[in-house]
Amino acid sequence: MTPDRLKRIQDMLKNRQPDLTVCLEEVHKTHNLSAIVRTADSIGIHEVHAILAGKDSRVRSGTARGSQNWVKMNVHDNIETAVSQFKQQGMQVLATSLSERSVDYRKIDYTRPTAIIYGQEKYGISDAALELADQHIIIPMLGMAESLNVSVANGLILYEAMQQREAANMYGQSRLPKSEEQRILFERGHPVFAEICRQKQLSYPFINEQGEIEASDDWWQKLQTHKSSW
């Protein structure tokens, strides 16, 4: 790992927002999925969630390949499971929808732990998701169109969240568990060795401040030999 790459990864880790996420309910168009994950990465979101029950596995694994190396995709079979997880983490759950409960998306306090649900391109958010959400939000529309493309709406809302969090000094400090930082440093800084570890089911080593692997002679020997000889 070069010093430049190490610094870039370390800077990225300092800006990750583990208490901010998005949930995509049956959003299935690949270009929308890719754009949403890319935007999530750009503002520091560490994990995104998707309800993709019954969808082709290529949708699950092939979305935004570059950004998905840095943003974890969690797939759920139903919205109830996803929202339950958010609420267990103390998150406010927002649903993008025009309803009597809706407020302008800019009136929300995004410095709070937050999960934002976006609905399927054609039919929008399900009734179940709307019922489970703590608040409905809208993006004001002044023309004839009734809604924005889901990836565009996501961009507007997430950059509002980023602006609020920047003002609250929530960037520039590491907030991820050390174990997760170590995983990312190894997998993205030493991808060849990481792949060998996965194949051999070998534990990951420690990565020091210089981005170097610190491991025992036994670990190095196991890395270089067949598992049958351990």
Report the binding-site residues for S-adenosyl-L-methionine.
96, 139, 148
DSSP 75: E
Strands 213-214 and 206-207, bridge-based pairing: antiparallel
Contacts of residue 108, defined as CB under 8 A and 6 or more positions apart, other chains included, come to 92, 94, 114, 135, 137, 160
Quickly tell me which residue has 């568990």 as its tokens: 177
- Please, are residues 33 and 64 in contact by the beta-carbon 8 Å criterion? yes
Known binding-site residue numbers: 96, 139, 148
Strands 102-104 and 72-76, bridge-based pairing: unpaired
